[in-house]
């Protein structure tokens, strides 16, 4: 037999699964790196809990800003101005 069940499809499935597992392993490694940074900061006398708070606040701020940009986009669209993706609109067309 050549293809048969567990053949090509199985191979592809296995590849997908292994790819995912590999990616999740990378995520885990990074999470450990994060812990290390916290540990090092703590060793320098910084309070991890406060750092977490700061980071989450900055994240919220970023989300806010993004929200505002989205809102701006919506306005622009509504006005027919279409602010080209990511706000890049340096109007070089004038050249």
Which residues are near DNA by CB under 7 A?
Answer: 24, 27, 31, 35, 38-39, 42, 48-49, 52-53, 56
Residue choice 6, 7, 11, 47 for contact with a copy of itself (CB under 8 A): 47
Q: Least CB distance from residue 47 to a copy of itself, whole Å? A: 6
**Residue 39 interacts with which of a copy of itself, DNA, none, CB < 5 to 8 Å by class:** DNA
Q: How far apart are CA 74 and CA 82, in angstroms?
A: 9
Which tokens go with 37?
Answer: 């940074």
Q: How far apart are CA 74 and CA 4, in angstroms?
A: 53
H-assigned helices in 1-95: 8-43, 48-78
Residue choice 1, 2, 50, 85 for contact with a copy of itself (CB under 8 A): 50
């Amino acid at each position: 037999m050549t293809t048969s069940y567990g053949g090509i499809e199985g191979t592809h499935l296995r590849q997908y699964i292994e790819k995912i597992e590999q990616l999740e392993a990378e995520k885990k490694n990074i999470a450990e790196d994060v812990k290390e940074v916290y540990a090092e900061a703590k060793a320098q006398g910084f309070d991890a809990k406060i750092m977490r708070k700061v980071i989450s606040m900055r994240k919220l701020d970023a989300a806010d800003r993004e929200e505002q940009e989205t809102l701006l986009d919506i306005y622009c669209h509504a006005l027919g101005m279409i602010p080209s993706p990511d706000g890049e609109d340096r109007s070089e067309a004038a050249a």
